[in-house]
Amino acid sequence: MARSFDVIFIGAGPAGYVGAIRAAQNGLKVACIDSWKNRDGSNAFGGTCLNAGCIPSKALLESSELYHRAREEFAVHGIRTGEVALDLAAMQTRKAKIVSSLTSGIKALFQANGVTGLVGRGRLLPSGKVEYTPEGGAVEELEAKDVVLAGGSEPVPLAAAPFDGSTIVDSWGALDFEAVPKRLGVIGAGVIGLELGSVWRRLGSEVVLLEALETFLPAADVQVAKEAERQFTRQGLDIRLGCKVTEAKVGGRKVHVRYRKGAKEETIEVDRLVVAVGRRPRSREILAEGTDVRVDARGFVEVDEHCRTSRAHVWAIGDLVRGPMLAHKGSEEGVMVADLLVGRSAEVNYATVPSVIYTAPEIAWVGKSQQALEQEGVPFKAGSFPFSANGRAKALEAAQGFVKILAHAETDEILGVHVIGPVASELVAEAVLAMEFQASAEDLALTVHAHPTLSEATHEAALAVDGRAIHAINKKKAG
Ligand code: FAD
Ligand code: NAD
C-alpha cells in the first residue's frame, strides 16, 4: 500500500523546510522530499539558501571584511599588527562548517517535529500523487491530501558565456574558489554580483562588473543607489554599466570577454568569470506532464495571494512563484500555507518584505522607493540622517551612508525606509515592524532609542521627516 501523508512538501529549501516544520507543529502528518546534492556527493536539506546561497555567502562576506579591516583599518584604531596573511583554505573550511552545522540542524528539527525527511526526487503526477525517486532506490508513489511545491530556483545561464564549472562559473562556483583570482570578471551587477564581487575584491582580486542596464541598482531608492555606486567604486569595484557581453571564451587559462558598450566593442581578460544575471524557477522536473498546474511563460508556477495553484490541494511557494527571490519571503509563504491547511487564517504582507544587500556598507530597504512614489503620484515627505553624525557609527569606524524615511505627505504613514550603512540588515527590522503596524513617522520619532546606537539614525531620520532632527541641520523647517 502507498505511504500516505496529510501533506508532502517537494523541496527542503527555506520555503519547503520551514513550511514542513510548521505543518507538523499544526498536527499534520508531513513528508518533505529533497534532492539537493553537494559537490562531494552528499545530500543535505536547506536548499540553495543554506548550501550555496545566503549562508555560505554571508560567511565569506564576514571573513573577507575582517581580513580587509585587519589590513586597512586596525591602524586607525591604534592597533599594530604584523603582516596580515590570508589562509583561504581555513576561510573556506569555516564556511563549510557553518553550512553543515545548519543543514544537519534541519535534519534534527525534522526529527524533533516528526517530519519525514526523504532524500531523492519528487514529482507531482496527474493523479495528484507524488512520485518519489530515492537515490539508487525503487520509485515509489506517495499519497497526500495536499502537495506543496517548493523546488526553488537555479542560475540563469548566458548563451554568450556558458558555464564550464571551473573558469566560467555561477554563484555556487564563485563561493568555492580555492585561490584568489588575480582578475575576476562578473556579468551582472545585481545582488550576487555585488556581494561576491565584494568578497573577492576584499581578498585581493581586481574585480570588473559588466552590467547590461544603464542604471545601477534600479530596485533601490535612487539616492541609495547613487551612494552605493560611489562607495563601491571607491573600494575598487570597477562597475561598467550598459554593457552587452557578446562572447566569453576560455583560452590560455584566461577568459577573454568581449562586450559592446554603446557603439564601442571592448575586451577584457580575466582569470575567472562569474555569471550572475538572475535566477529562474525550477518548475520543469517537479511537475509530470498533464498535472493541470499552470506555469507562466517564465516558468513560475502561477499562484494566488495564498499560494494556491490552479489545481485544488496543490500549493507552490518560494522562488518557484512570483515575488522577490528571497529566503524569508519563501519561509513566510511556507508558514502561511501550513496554517491555511489547518483552517487558520493566514497571509503574507508582501508590502513589507525587506530587501538586503550584504555589502559594506550594507543596503536594506522596505516599502516604496522615492522614484516609485513619484511614478505613482503619491504625495510624500522625506527625512534622512547621515551616519557621519551618529556617534556609534563613528566608534565603529563605519560612518558612511544614511537612513532615509518616506512618509505620506498627508497621513504621515511610513511608506518606505531605506538604509545604506553599517548593519543596515538589522536596522531595517525596526522599519518593517513599524510598517507592519502602519506606523507614522511621528510614531517612530516618539519611540525611545538607546544611546549610542546605530538605530538613533533611524530615529533622527523620522524626526527629519518633519524638519525636527536634532543632530543634523534640517533641510526643511519644522511644521
Ligand atoms: P531553494 O532554496 O532553491 O530550495 C529548493 C530545494 O528543492 C532544493 O534543495 C532543491 O534541490 C529541491 N528540489 C528542486 N526540485 C526538486 C524535486 N523535483 N524533488 C526534490 N527536491 C527538489 N536570499 C535571502 O533572503 N538572503 C540572502 O542573503 C540571500 N543570499 C543569496 C546568495 C546567493 C549566492 C544565492 C544564489 C541566493 C541567495 N538568496 C538570498 C536567495 C535564496 O537563496 C533563495 O531565495 C531561497 O533559497 C529560495 O528558497 P526556496 O526554498 O524557494 O528554494
Ligand atoms: P539580480 O536580478 O539581483 O541581478 C542580476 C543583474 O544582472 C541585474 O542587474 C541585471 O540587469 C543584470 N543582467 C541581466 N542580464 C544581463 C546580461 N546579459 N549582461 C549583463 N548583465 C545582465 O540577480 P542575481 O544577482 O543573479 O541574484 C539572483 C536572485 O538571488 C535575486 O533575485 C536575489 O534576490 C537573490 N539573492 C538575494 C540576496 C540577498 O538577499 N542578499 C543575495 C544574493 C541573491
Amino acid at 88: L
Question: CB-based contacts of 342: which residues, under 8 Å, 6+ apart?
Answer: 26, 27, 28
| Nearest CA residue ID for atom 33, ligand 2 | 325
Both 240 and 334 in one domain: the answer is no
Residue 87 lies in a domain: yes
Cβ(171) – ligand 1 distance below 6 Å: yes
Please write down the long-range contacts of 341-347, taking CB distance under 8 Å and 24 or more positions apart: 341/6, 341/7, 341/23, 341/26, 341/28, 341/146, 342/26, 342/27, 342/28, 344/26, 346/306, 347/305, 347/306
Q: How many residues can be counted in the chain?
A: 479
Residue 235 lies in a domain: yes
Residue 472 lies in a domain: no
Cβ(192) – ligand 1 distance below 6 Å: yes
Q: For the domain that residue 428 is a member of, what is the CATH number?
A: 3.30.390.30
Question: Which of 37, 38, 48, 140 has the most ligand 1 atoms within 8 A of CB, as the residue to mutate?
Answer: 48
pLDDT in tens, 4-62: 999 999 999 999 999 999 999 999 999 999 999 999 999 999 999 999 999 999 999 99
**206 exposed, middle or buried (CB, 10 Å; 0-12, 13-18, 19+)?**
middle
Both 102 and 20 in one domain: the answer is yes
- Around ligand 2, the residues with Cβ closer than 6 Å are 158, 187-193, 195, 210-213, 245, 276-279, 324-326, 356-358
How many Å is the Cα radius of gyration of the chain?
A: 24
Question: Which of 8, 17, 54, 131 has the most ligand 1 atoms within 8 A of CB, as the residue to mutate?
Answer: 54
Q: Identify which ligand lies nearest to the alpha carbon of 106.
A: 1
Both 136 and 14 in one domain: the answer is yes
Neighbours of 3 (CB within 10 A): 16
Confirm whether 77 is a catalytic residue.
Answer: no
Residue 8 lies in a domain: yes
Pairing assessment for the beta strands 206-210 and 183-187 based on DSSP bridges: parallel
Strand (E) or helix (H) holding 25: helix 16-25
Query: In the chain, count of helices (H) and strands (E)?
Result: 13, 21
Domain-terminating residue out of 348, 367, 393: 348
Both 364 and 343 in one domain: the answer is no
Residue 115 lies in a domain: yes
Both 20 and 131 in one domain: the answer is yes
Within its chain, how far is the Cα of 72 from the centroid?
28
Residue 477 lies in a domain: no
Query: 274: closest CA among 178, 153, 172?
Result: 172
Amino acid at 161: A
DSSP at 418: E
How far away, in angstroms, is 55 Cα from ligand 1 center?
11
Q: Which atom of ligand 2 is nearest to the CA of 194?
A: 25
Both 149 and 298 in one domain: the answer is yes
Residue 242 lies in a domain: yes
How far away, in angstroms, is 152 Cα from ligand 1 center?
5
| Nearest CA residue ID for atom 37, ligand 1 | 53
Both 107 and 11 in one domain: the answer is yes
Question: Which of 10, 42, 49 has the most ligand 1 atoms within 8 A of CB, as the residue to mutate?
Answer: 49
Both 104 and 17 in one domain: the answer is yes
Cβ(153) – ligand 1 distance below 6 Å: yes
- Residue 254 CA to residue 62 CA, distance in Å, equals 29
Q: Say what the alpha-carbon torsion angle 67, 70, 76, 79 is, to the nearest 10 degrees.
A: 170
Q: Which atom of ligand 1 is nearest to the CA of 17?
A: 51
Both 125 and 32 in one domain: the answer is yes
| pTM, two decimal places | 0.98
Residue ranges of the chain with pLDDT lower than 50?
none
Domain-terminating residue out of 348, 375, 398: 348
pLDDT in tens, 434-447: 999 999 999 999 99
Domain-terminating residue out of 331, 348, 365: 348
Both 357 and 438 in one domain: the answer is yes
Cβ(282) – ligand 1 distance below 6 Å: yes
Q: For the domain that residue 241 is a member of, what is the CATH number?
A: 3.50.50.60
Both 268 and 185 in one domain: the answer is yes
Both 329 and 208 in one domain: the answer is no
The predicted structure's pLDDT at residue 1:
78
How far away, in angstroms, is 331 Cα from ligand 2 center?
20
Residue 475 lies in a domain: no
Give me the number of domains the chain comprises.
Answer: 3
Cell numbers at residue 176, please?
568555492
Tell me the residue range of the domain where 390 lies.
352-464
- Residue 407 CA to residue 379 CA, distance in Å, equals 9
The helix-helix angle for 16-25 and 88-113 (nearest 10°) equals: 30
